[in-house]
Amino acid sequence: MKIINTQEPEKLVRERGILDVHSIFHTIQGEGPFCGQPAVFVRLAGCNLQCPGCDTNYTSNRKKMSHCDIWQEIVRVTGEAKTNLVVITGGEPFRQPEVANFINYLIDMKGYRVQVETNGTMPIPRELNYNCVVVCSPKAAKIHPSVSARADAFKYVMKSGNVNEEDGLPLQALDHRATPFIARPPVHFKGKIYLQPMDEQDDDANKANAQAVVKYAMKHNYIVQLQIHKYLGVE
């Protein structure tokens, strides 16, 4: 069944000391540089884009929370587990620039490791702690210069037949219109580039997507990833 994302795009918001939070949960990180590691996810509400094929629910709940409120909820969902990784996701986290201060609070005051996931279209605040790992998964044709300068890794979801032969990266992502194609890592990018097959809920299509990922990863030296949380049956 084809997914159509009907969640409205939202503008950048600045609110000192407060974040608009969708949900906080304890799980296994299923992709990116911390793949396989237990993590607490903080999903922030709202996104500035509206990718038609996006299946992430980021608007159904929202609660204004202070840094301390969020930290207390992280502690509560972690319970007695030893998890020390927090993944900030969305929606689009940098739609709320206050997220940088919250990340710095988690790293500097509470001793967590933090990864943030972004679509790359919003500026990354200068004050963001350099120990925060930034993963960009482009959906639009351009990414903000601050993201090009700061991203540690890029992540692309691949659909067979939707690939630029020259660099082996997808032309579009989740049916978002990007002309001529979605943003690339900067020239001479030294970080990691992940390719993962798109899940189309169709065995034949998924097999073709997996074959495309293997082909272009081998040709261009990208890293193949599967969204292992889906295989593990966790959120």
**Residue 218 marked ligand-binding:** no
33: left (phi over 0), alpha (psi -120 to 50) or beta: alpha
- Nearer CB in complex with ligand SF4: 118/160: 118
- Nearer CB in complex with ligand SF4: 86/173: 173
**Residue 118 marked ligand-binding:** no
Provide the greatest CA pair distance for the chain.
49
Instruction: Provide the residue type at 50 as one letter.
Output: Q
Site residues for ligand SF4, 67-126, by CB under 6 A, read 90-92, 119
**Residue 91 marked ligand-binding:** yes
- Nearer CB in complex with ligand SF4: 91/170: 91
Stretch that binds ligand SF4, among 54-62, 182-190, 195-203, 215-223 (CB under 6 A): 54-62
Cβ proximity of 95 and 125 under 8 Å: no
From candidates 122, 133, 158, 174, binder to ligand SF4 by CB under 6 A: 174
# chain residues binding ligand SF4, by CB under 6 A: 14
Distances (CA, A) of 11 to 27, 121, 122, 192, 203: 29, 12, 10, 30, 37
The torsion angle over the Cα atoms of residues 20, 38, 234 and 25, rounded to 10 degrees, is -30
Least Å from the CB of residue 31 to ligand SF4 = 13
Straight-line distance from the first to the last Cα atom of the chain, in angstroms, rounded to the nearest whole number = 20
**Residue 198 marked ligand-binding:** yes
- Nearer CB in complex with ligand SF4: 62/215: 62
194 vs 191: CA distance, rounded Å: 10
Least Å from the CB of residue 45 to ligand SF4 = 11
- What is the pairing mode between strands 85-89 and 38-44? parallel
**Residue 51 marked ligand-binding:** yes
Which distant-in-sequence residues (6+ apart) come within 8 Å of 159 by Cβ? Answer: 170, 172, 198, 200, 209, 212
Binding mask 12-51 for ligand SF4 (x = CB under 6 A): -----------------------------------x-xxx
Strand, helix or coil for residue 38: strand
Which residue ranges make up the annotated binding site for [4Fe-4S] cluster? 47, 51, 54
Q: What does the binding site for ligand SF4 look like in residue numbers (CB under 6 A)?
A: 5, 47, 49-51, 54, 56, 58, 90-92, 119, 139, 174
